[in-house]
Amino acid sequence: MAFTKKTVRDIDVEGKRVIMRVDFNVPLKDGVVTDDTRVRAAIPTIEYLKENGAGVILMSHLGRPKGDGPEPELSLKPAADKLAELTGYDVKFVADTYGDEAAAACAAVQPGDILVLENVRFLKAEKKNDPEVAKKLASYGDIFVLDAFGTAHRAQGSVVGPAEFIPAVAGFLLEKEVDTLTSIFAEPERPFVAIVGGSKVSSKIGVLENLIESADTLIIGGGMAYTFFLSKGYTVGTSLQEEDWIERAGEMLAKAEAKGCKILLPIDNVVTDHFGEDAVGEVVDSDKIPDNRMGMDIGPKTEALFSEAIAGAKTVFWNGPMGVFEFDQFAHGTEVVARAVADSDCTSIIGGGDSVAAINKFGLADKMSWISTGGGASMELVEGKALPGVEVLLDA
Ligand code: ADP
Ligand code: MG
């Protein structure tokens, strides 16, 4: 086990009030939750606490409030309603977070009760981990539980604060995410094939460098491939490219070779003359991209090459789409790779907001072993960084 902190299993919760930070940062449309993945992800811990005799107080942020007071369209009420709908529990909601009303509602929580507080970010001080915020939130409970994996990389008041005042342990989601995303580096079943795509080398540099250390094969696709092509002396036309990162990309290829990590870059590409929904693609080899063309997706030879590597994998980690999958005509490469992962007899771990969106778009989510609920937090783990929210928890 790669998880070294105490969880709700390791602490007596009976008759206790538990203040728990969840990630209910859900998309809303007209006051209704349009994707309940994050609410569902928190249910196992909520259920465990309730069944073991704790009173549960839930808090989360939602969206990006200004921090100067309530913003009705960013209320957590719809998330509380969704939790009630999904669990059948009587879920109470209080339209306050730090005031007397919230304090009174928390004080009234009995074993088995579930109370949701209002958006923690309606107050600016929360983001800065103000000690007053931390103290206030800690005063609501006897135990602090962190299950908000999606914000565990942020040292904010509701994420790390209460741990200074009351015993702090992890919920099941946080435990599973950290365990999964760290054990692939510690003890991957081999061959371990990592797939990295998306737009930029610069935003994935730490991820790439850490994967080179442990993967047997690193597949590179998406917009970042063009900066790697430049480092090999190819021209890339009007494709996405990062001048300042060409040298680093070249160094990475050399380092991978020295480490025995095989790098697979696209051998052909779907290119077009402009970036748009109506753009029409044509296939060209990677060393023959015309000056006035931009790469939008991997080509068919590359799809076959990548799929073969994935079919032989025992562990796959994937972050970043292979092309501009938002446009249907450039989604093919990402879809073929997603299907190859789904069909492969491997443990498959998917991280990153757009990658997860792509997998959902193709209806392949239930074919993957683990789909991370955190974007930034999962990337930081893959970069080998410690998460502040995890650091503050009691050691197991
Ligand atoms: P994730 O959210 O999974 O970490 P990123 O945010 O790094 O992924 O990258 C996703 C974005 O990369 C998508 O919006 C996609 O359109 C873009 N992208 C992929 N391939 C290309 C390309 N060839 N040119 C430009 N953008 C690309
Ligand atoms: Mg993204």
**Domain boundary residue, one of 111, 143, 173:** 173
Ligand nearest to the CA of 353: 1
- Ligand 1 centroid–CA 199 distance in Å is 4
pLDDT, tens digit, 9 for 90 and up, residues 296-346: 999 999 999 999 999 999 999 999 999 999 999 999 999 999 999 999 999
Give the environment of ion ligand 2: residues with CB less than 5 A.
Answer: 353-354
Judgement on whether residues 230 and 346 belong to the same structural domain of the protein: yes
What number does the ligand 1 atom closest to the CA of 324 have? 16
pLDDT on residue 1:
52
Residue 388 lies in a domain: no
Judgement on whether residues 110 and 184 belong to the same structural domain of the protein: no
Reported confidence tier of residue 294, pLDDT bands at 50, 70, 90: very high
For ligand 1, atom 9, the nearest C-alpha belongs to 198
Residue 390 lies in a domain: no
Catalytic residue (one of 63, 250, 353, 384): 353
pLDDT on residue 374:
87
Arithmetic mean of pLDDT, 206-228: 96
Residue 68 lies in a domain: yes
50 is catalytic: no
Judgement on whether residues 217 and 250 belong to the same structural domain of the protein: yes
For ligand 1, atom 11, the nearest C-alpha belongs to 198
353 is catalytic: yes
Ligand nearest to the CA of 198: 1
- Ligand 1 centroid–CA 222 distance in Å is 6
- Ligand 2 centroid–CA 358 distance in Å is 11
- Ligand 2 centroid–CA 380 distance in Å is 14
| CA–CA distance, 322 with 319 (Å, rounded to integer) | 9
Q: Beginning with the edge strand found earlier in the chain, give each strand of the sheet holding 17-21 in spatial order.
A: 91-93, 114-116, 55-59, 17-21, 143-146, 168-170
Report the domain count for the chain.
2
Pocket test for ligand 1, best of 341, 354, 372, 378 (most atoms within 8 A of CB): 354
CA count, 13 A, side-chain hemisphere, 299: 20
| CA–CA distance, 358 with 173 (Å, rounded to integer) | 22
pLDDT, tens digit, 9 for 90 and up, residues 151-200: 999 999 999 999 999 999 999 999 999 999 998 888 899 999 999 999 99
Catalytic residue (one of 112, 206, 375, 376): 376
| CA–CA distance, 29 with 77 (Å, rounded to integer) | 13
What number does the ligand 1 atom closest to the CA of 295 have? 23
pLDDT, tens digit, 9 for 90 and up, residues 93-133: 999 999 999 999 999 999 999 999 999 999 999 998 899 99
Catalytic residue (one of 38, 50, 121, 127): 38
Q: CA angle at residue 346 from 345 to 348, to 5 degrees? A: 130
Give pTM, 2 decimals: 0.91
Residue whose C-alpha is closest to residue 283's, from 231, 230, 219, 330: 330
Judgement on whether residues 214 and 247 belong to the same structural domain of the protein: yes
230 neighbors 249 (Cβ within 8 angstroms): yes
Q: What is the mean pLDDT of the chain?
A: 96
Judgement on whether residues 72 and 198 belong to the same structural domain of the protein: no
Judgement on whether residues 79 and 131 belong to the same structural domain of the protein: yes
- Ligand 2 centroid–CA 354 distance in Å is 5
Residue 391 lies in a domain: no
CB atoms within 10 A of CB 347: 19
Judgement on whether residues 153 and 186 belong to the same structural domain of the protein: no
CATH code of the domain in which 137 resides: 3.40.50.1260
* Pairing mode of beta strands 294-298, 268-272: antiparallel
200 is catalytic: yes
Three-state SS at 343: helix
| CA–CA distance, 111 with 54 (Å, rounded to integer) | 5
For ligand 1, atom 10, the nearest C-alpha belongs to 198
Helix residue ranges, H only, the chain: 37-51, 77-87, 100-107, 131-139, 157-160, 172-186, 205-214, 225-231, 246-259, 300-311, 332-343, 353-361, 376-382, 388-391
Judgement on whether residues 211 and 344 belong to the same structural domain of the protein: yes
| CA–CA distance, 18 with 54 (Å, rounded to integer) | 7
320 is catalytic: no
Domain extent, residue 300, equals 180-383
- Ligand 2 centroid–CA 317 distance in Å is 16
Contacts of 292 (CB under 8 A, 6+ apart): 237, 238, 273
Arithmetic mean of pLDDT, 261-280: 97
What number does the ligand 1 atom closest to the CA of 323 have? 20
Judgement on whether residues 155 and 213 belong to the same structural domain of the protein: no
Ligand nearest to the CA of 195: 1
Judgement on whether residues 257 and 134 belong to the same structural domain of the protein: no
Ligand nearest to the CA of 357: 1
Catalytic residue (one of 6, 40, 124, 200): 200
